[in-house]
Amino acid sequence: MLTKRCTKRTLTMAAVGLLSLGLLLAACAPAPAPTVTAPAPTVTVPGPTVTAPAPTVTAPAPTVTVTAPAPTPAAATIMIAGNRPEGGDFALAQGLATFINSDSKFLKAYVLATGGMTDSQQLFVRDQGLRTTGIVNSVDLYNMAGEFKLWGVNGWEPRIIGAFFQWSYIWVTYDGNIKTMKDFKGKTIGVGRESSTTWPVEKAILEAEGVLADVKLQHGGIGGLVTALMDGKVAVADVIFDYIYPNTYSRGAFLEQLATRGDLYFPGATLDSMTKAAKALGAAPFAFKIPALALGPTQTEPVYQLAWLTWWMADKTMDEATVYEITRVMWANLDKFKNFHVAGNGMVPDFVVMSTWPAGEREKWYHPGALKFYKEKGIELKTRVGN
């Protein structure tokens, strides 16, 4: 029994001891780590970056006008009809050819001697091919009605490049008693060839003075008339002298030749008769006053005569670029023409652009190539109305 009690006590104590040991162990045991639940990280997955393309705006390309340089015209050779070799117009034509040959990049030129101004015109009337390769010096007397009309004949239509010469004639005699044209009556008078431009002018003057029916006429070229006067075969002759625009006068070669024989006298017409003659011609010569003493001490009074301009002209069918180039070269060398003839001193800008047509009419008489040059350079055309 005692054994049973001891066993029971022993079990009880053992239990108590185990419980105490458990409590002790529990007290001494480390505290369990706290359970930490970290919040799940927020992961933001970036969505794809979508960049909307900017609208394409195409500005129109600026308009750029590129002007190609004008092509240089093909090389060409032109002929200048120069009239008689002894004349001032021939010398000035040689000057123009010289300048063209030295200054132009594509033109060459030469001067052709002819039988005179009318002969030169007739070359162009006959030869249509020459109209695109040649120029001529001409006067508007060839535009008047009648037998001397050559402008417009057979399709020839000359147009002005520029003026270079003024034809100025004067009646001359060795007889100091012949003081006016009224004194021509009963005399033999030397006048131009019947085919020349001077004869219709002389005829109009003689008619205006009322002496045509009372004189005997001897026709000839200037050289022939000079010889006839020196030889006493005519009493009076109509001879050219040198005039330099605007107011310089000199006797020139023919009057100087005549002066070797004796004193010269210059019977003149009246201004009224000159105006009447110009009107009768229907062309555009103008009354021209030669002041007293302009041609020497024996010219004691002013003398009136008719004068007319001479132009270098090209047919209207000649290439515009060619005529432009001729005009350009001429204009660039105006101060050098005097080296070829004394009349070249008068080739000043104001004179070169003169014609005898009024402002509303004159442009149509200029070649388009020349007109283009003058307009580009701001050069004003002028009308010659006398002095």
Domain assignment present for residue 273? The answer is yes
In this prediction, residue 69 carries a pLDDT of: 55
CA atoms within 13 A on the CB side of 110: 5
SS3 state of residue 106 = coil
In this prediction, residue 30 carries a pLDDT of: 43
Number of H helices, E strands in the chain: 11, 13
Domain assignment present for residue 38? The answer is no
Domain assignment present for residue 11? The answer is no
Instruction: Report whether 124 contacts 156 (CB < 8 A).
Output: yes
Domain that holds residue 288: 76-383
pLDDT for 41 beyond 50: no
Domain assignment present for residue 61? The answer is no
Instruction: Report whether 17 contacts 25 (CB < 8 A).
Output: no
In this prediction, residue 145 carries a pLDDT of: 61
In this prediction, residue 22 carries a pLDDT of: 38
Q: Whats the size of the chain, residue-wise?
A: 387
* CA separation for the pair 199, 327 (Å, rounded): 31
Q: Which residues contact 168 (CB under 8 A, 6 or more apart)?
A: 240, 241, 242, 243, 288, 290, 305, 307
Average pLDDT over residues 351-359: 93
Give the lowest-confidence range in 5-9, 80-84, 111-115: 5-9
Give the lowest-confidence range in 51-60, 214-223, 270-279: 51-60
**Could you tell me which of 75, 119, 117 has the C-alpha nearest to residue 100?**
75
Domain assignment present for residue 60? The answer is no
Domain assignment present for residue 277? The answer is yes
pLDDT for 72 beyond 80: no
Domain assignment present for residue 41? The answer is no
In this prediction, residue 133 carries a pLDDT of: 96
Q: What percent of the chain has pLDDT over 70?
A: 80
**Could you tell me which of 302, 269, 270, 307 has the C-alpha nearest to residue 286?**
307
The chain-wide mean pLDDT, for the chain, equals 84
Domain assignment present for residue 42? The answer is no
Give the lowest-confidence range in 34-38, 119-123, 236-240: 34-38
Backbone torsions φ then ψ of 182, nearest 5 degrees: -65, -25
Q: What is the DSSP string of 13-73?
A: HHHHHHHHHHHHHHHHSPPPPP---PPPP---PPPPP--PPPPP--PPPPP----PPPPPP
CA-based max dimension of the chain: 215
- CATH number assigned to the domain comprising residue 370: 3.40.190.10
In this prediction, residue 6 carries a pLDDT of: 36
Instruction: Report whether 110 contacts 325 (CB < 8 A).
Output: no
Q: Cα–chain-centroid distance for residue 198?
A: 30
pLDDT for 25 beyond 70: no
Which has the higher per-residue pLDDT, 283 or 242?
242
Q: How many domains does the chain have?
A: 1
In this prediction, residue 5 carries a pLDDT of: 40
